[in-house]
Amino acid sequence: MYIDAHNHLQDPRLAAEVESIVEAAASAGVVGMVVNGTTEQDWPHVQALAERYPDLVRPAFGLHPWFIRDRSPDWGRKLQDALAFPGSSIGEIGLDRWIKDYDIEDQRHVFLEQLALASELKRPASIHCLRAWGELVDCLEEAERLERGFLLHSFGGSLEVAQRCIPLGAYFSFPGAFAREKKIKQRSVFAQLPLDRILIETDAPDQLPPRSLQSHPLQNEAGEALNHPANLGSIYDYFADFRAIYAKDCANQFMSNAIKLFGFAS
């Protein structure tokens, strides 16, 4: 049984195939997925998926740093309203210096506000970070510790960053894209992280794994290759082999981690 710790099933690129995607994922052993919103506009779509597939989808609602410039004046109230949905978490939120013309101070303001909400509501958070690890750790240390913990999704930071974040409640998710040959640094960190702090994600429809791990090839109408949530089992198998542990033990450990962080049923 597999848990996809982070994806975007609501993405418009998947909309036409959602039903068949969900069926394929379930047939491939995916028993749960955290579906992350990124904007005020897609939060209703995330909720609709959670209502349509209550046994599979755990919704997460958050304002992604790429989109904070477009937020409405009452975005915080809308986020609180979305988080009234049972079992929801906060995500995808974070900091990003990779994008063009970023405003790190505005990002920091929005990020801290969402961390405060996660603390108040006792919800876990799914966090994005690119080229802003110092600021991110500062924010996490400044904010009240999240009782439920948080996921550093597609974690690309250093081992030193990880060691600072673990006492704060961090978990780290490994995407299939990290199996690509050039992702040596990322794998070297995951080789040293404790197994009880690791989860596996697809980040579908993005972060395609190598072709050998694409058990369920997927394309949109324009011919663009997309990541399928049903590729999750192949990513689990890869990670188990990478860490030299039995695949069943890997799946059991990561299920336990998902239960602790996101509250999935055992």
Instruction: Output the average pLDDT for the chain.
Output: 97
Average pLDDT, stretch 99-121? 97
User: In this structure, are residues 138 and 108 in contact, taking their beta carbons and an 8 Å threshold?
Assistant: no
Confidence class for position 129, pLDDT limits 50, 70, 90:
very high
H or E segment and range at residue 126: strand 125-130
Summarize pLDDT for 184-193 with one digit per residue, the tens.
Answer: 999 999 999 9
Instruction: Give the C-alpha distances (Å, rounded to integers) separating 10 from 76, 143, 178, 225.
Output: 21, 30, 23, 17
In this model, does residue 265 exceed pLDDT 80?
no
Q: Which CATH number fits domain 2-262: 3.90.1150.60, 3.40.309.10, 3.20.20.140, 3.80.30.20?
A: 3.20.20.140
What is the separation of C-alpha 261 from the centre of its chain, rounded to a whole number of angstroms? 12
In this model, does residue 99 exceed pLDDT 90?
yes
Q: Which among 156, 247, 245, 243 is positioned nearest to 191, based on CA atoms?
A: 243
Confidence class for position 180, pLDDT limits 50, 70, 90:
very high
Summarize pLDDT for 39-92 with one digit per residue, the tens.
Answer: 999 999 999 999 999 999 999 999 999 999 999 999 999 999 999 999 999 999
In this model, does residue 119 exceed pLDDT 70?
yes
Summarize pLDDT for 210-249 with one digit per residue, the tens.
Answer: 999 999 999 988 889 999 999 999 999 999 999 999 999 9
Percent above pLDDT 90 for the chain: 96
The stretches of 53-85 forming alpha helices (DSSP H) are 75-82
Q: What is the dihedral of CA 132, 229, 30, 232, to 10 degrees?
A: -70
The pLDDT of residue 266 is: 58
The model's pTM is: 0.97
The pLDDT of residue 81 is: 98
φ, ψ (nearest 5 deg) of residue 128: -105, 140
Summarize pLDDT for 194-213 with one digit per residue, the tens.
Answer: 999 999 999 999 999 999 99
Percent above pLDDT 70 for the chain: 100
Average pLDDT, stretch 128-157? 97
The pLDDT of residue 136 is: 97
The pLDDT of residue 220 is: 87
